[in-house]
Structure formats: C-alpha cells, structure tokens
Amino acid sequence: MIKIKTRHLLMIACLAILPVYASANDIEPSQEYFTALPATSPVVLDGILSEWDISRLVQDPRFAIPKGSGDSGQLVSFESLGGDWTGVGDHSASFMVSYDADNVYVGVLVIDDYHENAAASAWNGDSLQMMVANSARDSQVGLYNFALSGVESALGSLIVNIEAGPGGADAAISRQSPVTIYEIQLPMSSLGLTELTPGTQFGLGFAINDGDELAPGQQGWSGWGPHALVYGKSPSETGLVTLGVPEPGTIGMVLLGVGILMTRRRR
C-alpha cells in the first residue's frame, strides 16, 4: 500500500502549478511529461492489460525529426530507417505508466500488421528498447530491451536483455495480430531509486522497433522519447515521469488548502 504524506501532496501541488515551457527535447511538448498514478488493481505480468486503467493511455505519441531538432523539427509518430510505413495500421503505439510500493509498470499497446523478429534480437526487429534516466535527465540509469522472437506465423520466446544498469526488469509480451502488448515491470532498484512515493521523478524513454516480412530487422520506430535510444544514447531525450497521488482530485484540494493558508497568513 502506498502511503500519502502531506509533504508529498504539497510537492505534487507545486509541480502542478509550475509554468509549462517549450520542449527541450524532441518529444512533442504536450506529451513530454507523464503523471503515473498508483495501480488500481495488482498488476499481473501476463501481456494482458485487463487490470489497467485504459483511460490513461497516451495514444500515438509524437516526436520531432531529425534527432535534436526539437521545436523546429517535423512532428511524427513513426520514423523510418528505410522501411515502408503506410500509416497507423502498419505500425503505431500507445502507452501508460503506473506504480505500486515496489515497482513501476509500463504498458505498451502496439498495432503492427506483421510481427518480424526472425533474428531473435533484442533490437533488430520488432522489439522495445527502453532507457531509464535520473530526474534531471542528464544521466543514464539503465538500458532494458524486450522482444518476442519469431515471425507472424511462428512466434518464439520472450527476450529480456539488460544492456546496462542495475537490472531486475521483467516483462510479458503477447501477440494477437495485429496487436502486440508489452507489459513491463521495473523494480525501484532498476530505476536507481530506494522508494516509490508521490512526487518521485525519473526519466523514461523507449523506442518500439518495427520490421516487416519483406523488410526484416530494424526498419523504423515509434515510441515515447525514442531519440533517447536511437542515433546514440541520449538521456536528455527521455520523457519525465512523476509519481502521482491515487486520486487526481486530491491535487485540487491541496491547492485549495494552500490558497486558504496563504490567505489566512495575509490577515
């Protein structure tokens, strides 16, 4: 059970009223920040999102190309590396993040017209590469890669590759064409953290690689902050996750309380 302390609520309240600036990286400015709420039901790693609050899904997150272009770049939801992308039915992705007292969970729903990972690779084919960064997003904490080997007609086995960092990450991946689901568990230690409490922040980015039957391997990617992973590792290209309170309305109540206290002090 996650205990909410007054100082945590005040921290969340302060974060909520901070001014919003233009994006400092390639993620679309309105999608650069994600507030993760506690899991409403225990998360079971089975590649099924039935226990998740689907209303929290961020659909088709966009990012600017080329890498490093930021506000001056072209916003896309998929970046090709030679493959032929025909639209969201070919490859697109949505994601959400939640947490409990011990773990952060990432759920990713991918629409993909063909599953291709004949190489049984952690990155060269249909797969998900993830970076965890510190809260300042200036230092890499971990690199965790997840994939389902095989091809559409002969799916293989789960691949969990700890490329760098503390480790401990785990996942379940399910495929029922045209949908692939990644359900990822990140223990607090894999994030470089010692507790998961409201107000805690860390950087998170992932590239969801796409391969096709006639173009196998890494032919392009979607994702949230994929430029943290591709064309070199760049923690500054991750999004910022903030652990939130169980009920979003709590923030409003805290802000109201802070306002009342400030009014009383002026008297």
Tell me what the mean pLDDT of segment 74-79 comes to: 98
pLDDT per residue over 48-57, tens digit each?
A: 999 999 999 9
Looking at the predicted structure, is the pLDDT value of residue 22 above 60?
Answer: no
Nearest-angstrom CA–CA distance, 162 and 136: 22
Contact 72, 91 (CB under 8 A): no
- pLDDT exceeds cutoff 70 at 58: yes
How do beta strands 116-117 and 127-133 pair? unpaired
Instruction: Set out the domains of the chain in order of their start, with CATH numbers.
Output: 6-266 (2.60.40.1190)
How many residues are listed for the chain in this entry? 267
Which comes out higher in pLDDT, residue 133 or 6? 133
Pick from 113-122, 127-136, 156-165, 242-251: least confident: 242-251
- The token pair at 83 is 């493959």
The answer to whether 152 touches 211, Cβ cutoff 8 Å, is no
CA distance 223 to 69: 17
For the chain, count helices (H), then strands (E).
2, 16
Asked if pLDDT for residue 125 goes beyond 80, the answer is yes
**Do β-strands 220-224 and 179-187 pair in parallel, antiparallel, or remain unpaired?**
unpaired
* Closest to 78 in 3D by CA, of 237, 229, 219, 228: 219
Residue carrying structure tokens 């993760």 = 36
Average model confidence (pLDDT) across the chain: 89
- Going by C-beta distance under 8 Å and a sequence separation of 6 or more, which residues neighbour residue 94? 57, 58, 59, 60, 61, 108, 109
Report the pLDDT averaged over residues 64-82: 97
What local confidence, expressed as pLDDT, does residue 12 receive? 47
pLDDT tens sequence across 141-161: 999 999 999 999 999 999 999
